[in-house]
Amino acid sequence: MAITVLVVDDSAFMRQLIKQMLESDPAIKVVAVARDGLDGLNKIEFFRPQVVTLDLEMPRMDGLTMLAEVMRRHPLPVVIVSSLAVEGGELTLQALELGAVDFVTKPAARPSQELWQIQDELVLKVKAAAQVRPELLKQLPVTKPVPEKVFTDVSSSGIVAVGASTGGPRALRYLLSQIPADFPWGMLIAQHIPVEFTRSFASRLGALSSLKVKVAEENDEILPGQVLVAPSGLQTGVVKEDGKVRIKLAQSDAIYRPSVDYLFESVAAVYKENTVGVLLTGMGADGAYGLKVIKEAGGITIAEAETSCVIYGMPRVAAEIGAVRYQLPLSEIPRCLTEVLARFTQKQ
């Protein structure tokens, strides 16, 4: 059976072009198109598509308003397809936080030959979205009050490295909202996200967290209670110089920049057994091998369980290759982190 899709876009040209792109793959069938959010909601009721592609800027009802209604009424996997995905990174991040599975950026230029460049990415992401269990899009763990003081000894030196891809922005928002203010180690995050989104992403994480959150820059020192977000377009690692651990950025032509594997391998080489690796939801396998490197170096490895993953890809591969010590739903990962670090601080 073909994956059924509803295309929502205020441009008649784009509606037909997206339909053609998707139906170039025999595994996808566009069952309807809609010109705005109101039209889209009505057609969801009638056609019951498996996946929705959604523009953000539309008359009558915009994409964010429609997305919120979809998640309230009957959650569906939604892929954002919008030029605003670059121009309005904040809007796209809001859409991901509301429950959109992924996004595809329309080229700024409108000639059709430029627009066709997104075809392969669009088809891939719609197919991945069709595998998502709709109930996971609406259900996020309930945030709990986080005590300011949890750790009695903050003298130990270590790192928590976190990797995520599809579904990561929402998962990371939850995770950071549950970390106590006296967190005794530094944290590094590698999230697959476009260059244009990195600063907005770090800012939105920081607004929810008791910790300081910023985009990592060359030579930044790893400090207790500080979260550094790996900048997109580069590889982020660490080096130890004169007794201090600092950020080392590198150019790369790898598929993923930042690569979770690159980050995990780098921190394991420097921090060894004082490393905790956390691998969250995401498509593909990035981070699985790096998590195994952390485990082999004596560190602790945690992967998100299938029960809460939007896309159970990266954590699944990590589990299959024996890289995972603790496999937990998202709601239990903050508690596990706190307990693990409490044991580390007591040992030293």
Please give the positions annotated as active site. 165, 192, 286
Residue type, 269: A
Name residues whose C-beta falls within 8 Å of residue 149's C-beta, 6 or more positions apart in sequence: 180, 181, 182
198-208 vs 89-98: helix axis angle to the nearest 10? 50
Cis peptide before 258 (omega within 30 of 0): yes
First-to-final CA distance of the chain: 58
List residues bridging with 241 in a β-sheet. Answer: 244
**Rounded distance, CA 43 to CA 35, Å?**
10
Hey, what are 46's tokens? 């009638």
| Cα–Cα nearest to 174, from 286, 29, 328 | 328
Query: Would you tell me how many other CB atoms lie within 10 Å of the CB of residue 282?
Result: 30
d(CA 197, CA 80): 14
237 and 248 Cβ atoms separated by less than 8 Å: yes
Mention every residue, 6+ apart, whose C-beta is less than 8 A from residue 240: 246, 270
Residue 322 and residue 89: Cα distance in Å, rounded?
Answer: 37
Rounded CA gap, 333 and 4, in Å? Answer: 35
For residue 221, the 8-state DSSP code is B
Q: Measuring CA to CA, which residue among 196, 270, 187, 265 is closest to residue 229?
A: 187
Q: How far from chain centre, in Å, is Cα 133?
A: 17
Among the listed residues 42, 92, 72, the one whose alpha carbon sits nearest the alpha carbon of residue 134: 72
Q: Which residue has the tokens 């201090």?
A: 244
